Amino acid sequence: MFGINKLFKKDNSDESRLFTLLEGYKSGVFPLGIEHEWVERYADKPDVLDITLSVPFAVQSANTALATYLSEHLDKRVTVTINVHLPEQFKYKKIKHIVLVASGKGGVGKSTTAAFLAQALVLEGANVGVLDADIYGPSIPSIFGVKNEKPSSKDNKTLNPIVKDAIKIQSIGFLVPAENATVWRGPMASQALNQLLNETDWGNLDYLIVDMPPGTGDIQLTMTQKVPASGALIVTTPQDLALADAQKGIAMFNQVNLPILGLIENMSHFLCTHCGQKNHIFGEHGGAELASRHGVPLLAEVPLNVAIRETSELGGNISTLPANQASNYTACAQLVSSILHYQTQATSTVDIVITDD
């Protein structure tokens, strides 16, 4: 598939060792190791071993941990470059994956999570769009710092999305003044959402992140029954009330057979700026217990942190967050992308055998 430079001229024993190490590199992002076909090229130089991988999911920054692992086992400095190339398999128009970010109740940081997840996926090498499905209370324009923007149209039939930080964004907030209330019945809201989704020129997207409204109403049914979503992320806090509502969200997605990709626990704890002690203000282990009960991964435990609040309120990007805060969203983006890849692989490898029985 790829042109691979021979690493060693005399024999291939060390080459075999390298591939064995790559295959044995197991992590949450690479549960099956590094596949041979992902190795695009490698070259042994006097002072360093350079490796380039072509990976079918968005994990561009995973190169650092992999390079450290190989350096330790090969006793040589190793550099790894990861190029992201998602397969051209569109599930909806020219969109490869639609991911719903949902919660049972409001106020748990769902919209911030959706925006930061999208930003992290871009930094990991993906083409990303964000659809604000909260017709009654759109907040995506504010979180991205584009609330005064108005979408244009090339043909008076489709809308061009607003682009910020290489992310294509669409929201009812661009079309309805922020000071006006959206007073629509459920079917009207669902129709508006359909128009936002289908009459926006998204172009080619690897991921469309959908910021869902709270609850389990008409919008949720529209996005699960009329759109081939790949899965849902559930956002909660450790509080019992939030967990109870998150449970309802999980039950709804289970009823419509939409996979739960994982849980994200926001406001998981607070790190004291004076002593560094971890304080569980809203409870402890709630997200982990809910995830364990339903057999889904807990993707991140995001702390209560002023930098996150300020960045979302000022329309900033996670690249400006402290590294220890941005890493939560980076890890989440990598895991979501990896889960979707292996989920697709598992689906596509099912064999149907017809017998005479």
Write the pLDDT tens digit of every residue in 190-246: 888 889 999 999 999 999 999 998 876 778 878 888 889 999 999 998 888 888 888
The predicted-structure confidence for 72-103, as pLDDT tens digits, reads as follows 998 889 999 999 999 888 999 999 999 999 98
Question: Average of pLDDT values for 103-130?
Answer: 93
Q: What is the pLDDT of residue 248?
A: 86
Q: What is the pLDDT of residue 119?
A: 97
Q: What is the pLDDT of residue 351?
A: 40
Q: Quote the percentage of the chain above a pLDDT of 70.
A: 90
Q: What is the pLDDT of residue 157?
A: 87
Task: Specify the range with the lowest mean pLDDT, choosing from 60-64, 110-114, 159-163, 248-252.
Answer: 248-252
C-alpha neighbours within 13 Å on the C-beta side of residue 83: 11
Q: What is the pLDDT of residue 347?
A: 64
**Chain-centre distance of CA 311, in angstroms?**
19
Residue partners of 164: CB distance under 8 A and separation at least 6: 144, 145, 146, 315
* 51-54: long-range pairs with CB below 8 Å, 24+: 51/78, 51/79, 51/80, 51/81, 52/80, 52/81, 52/82, 52/83, 53/80, 53/81, 53/82, 53/83, 54/2, 54/83, 54/85
Task: Specify the range with the lowest mean pLDDT, choosing from 6-20, 123-137, 166-180, 184-198.
Answer: 6-20
Task: Specify the range with the lowest mean pLDDT, choosing from 47-61, 197-211, 308-322.
Answer: 308-322
